[in-house]
């Protein structure tokens, strides 16, 4: 009798301890993923703010160079987070600088398209910038980033089982808006934290993802019929547990 009672208390204590520790550990990974999310979104915003310039058929050299992007991103990121990417510190600082480097490379790779004259829409849109940045960063760092949605356009962004499950949770009407969803799990024999940062449709997204549903947008894809504020997708992270 006494023994099984003791055993129960002991296993309860172990459980509480485990949850406590997991909670603490995932907080650091969440912080890292949150900063990386902000930096991806900052780069995307700079691309978005310059769509008219990029798609200008009158102009050859647009001046939308990797250095130009970096200058704008550094300024905006400092404004929104207080972090100066020119003076990075700690592990997160290294990751952020690596991500900025990748964003610059994505713009460098697109220079010949961006600087084409006599061509309007070029397909160098914010979503493509995000996917290329995520793919490049994932291929060379231990952290995987993916831009995904339930109603995906590009098969490369197709959600996996975890992401599908997470969308189910995030899409629930009572789920707090903007709250990241995360789970710790084993992957290839190692512990990882998977975190999804939800993205919601803004006005600027609706020319492609809005109404009328099924109509073609400027990219040649079919509009999804989203309304402002709808869950549009997520940035999905796989981070080795520390
Ligand atoms: C110019 C049209 C256009 C606009 C504006 C646009 N998107 Fe997209 N979006 C696309 C295309 C095309 C893709 C597929 C890109 C690729 O090749 O990966 C895409 C991909 C995505 C994805 C990844 C999953 C998928 O569908 O493949 C998400 C999430 C997404 N968009 C959300 C948004 C949000 C949020 C906004 C506004 C902040 C936005 N989009 C603005 C055209 C657009």
Ligand 1 pocket member 218 (CB < 6 A): yes
> How high is the pLDDT of residue 19?
57
pLDDT tens digits, residue range 180-211? 999 999 999 999 999 999 999 999 999 999 99
Q: How far is CA 88 from CA 44, 57, 73, in A?
A: 21, 38, 14
Ligand 1 pocket member 149 (CB < 6 A): yes
Instruction: Work out the average pLDDT over 94-119.
Output: 97
Model confidence at 25, pLDDT cuts 50, 70, 90, reads very low
pLDDT above 60 (res 63): yes
pLDDT tens digits, residue range 42-59? 999 999 999 999 999 999
Model confidence at 225, pLDDT cuts 50, 70, 90, reads very high
Rounded distance, CA 213 to CA 184, Å? 37
> How high is the pLDDT of residue 15?
64
Ligand 1 pocket member 233 (CB < 6 A): yes
Q: How far is CA 134 from CA 69, 206, 221, in A?
A: 17, 23, 21
Q: Count Cα atoms within 13 angstroms, Cβ side, for 56.
A: 13
Distance in Å, CA 88 to ligand 1 centroid: 30
Ligand 1 pocket member 125 (CB < 6 A): yes
Instruction: Work out the average pLDDT over 112-123.
Output: 96
> How high is the pLDDT of residue 17?
64
> How high is the pLDDT of residue 242?
83
> How high is the pLDDT of residue 26?
63
Instruction: Work out the average pLDDT over 81-110.
Output: 97
- Higher pLDDT, residue 4 or 179: 179
């Amino acid at each position: 009798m006494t023994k099984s009672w003791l055993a129960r208390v002991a296993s309860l204590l172990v459980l509480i301890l485990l949850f406590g520790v997991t909670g603490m550990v995932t907080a650091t990974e969440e912080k890292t993923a949150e900063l990386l999310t902000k930096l991806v979104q900052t780069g995307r915003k700079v691309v978005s703010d310059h769509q008219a310039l990029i798609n200008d058929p009158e102009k050859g050299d647009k001046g939308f160079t990797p250095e130009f992007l970096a200058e704008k991103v550094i300024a905006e990121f400092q404004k929104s987070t207080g972090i100066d990417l020119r003076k990075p510190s700690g592990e997160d600082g290294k990751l952020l600088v690596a991500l900025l480097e990748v964003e610059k490379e994505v713009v460098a790779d697109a220079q010949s398209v961006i600087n084409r004259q006599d061509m309007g829409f070029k397909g160098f849109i914010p979503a493509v910038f995000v996917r290329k940045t995520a793919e490049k960063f994932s291929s060379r760092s231990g952290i995987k980033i993916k831009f995904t949605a339930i109603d995906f356009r590009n098969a490369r962004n197709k959600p996996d089982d975890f992401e599908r499950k997470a969308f189910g949770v995030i899409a629930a009407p009572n789920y707090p808006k903007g709250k990241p969803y995360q789970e710790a799990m084993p992957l290839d024999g190692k512990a990882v934290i998977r975190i999804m940062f939800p993205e919601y449709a803004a006005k600027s997204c609706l020319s492609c993802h809005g109404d009328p549903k099924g109509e073609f947008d400027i990219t040649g894809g079919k509009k999804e019929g989203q309304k402002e504020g709808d869950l549009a997708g997520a940035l999905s992270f796989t981070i080795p547990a520390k």
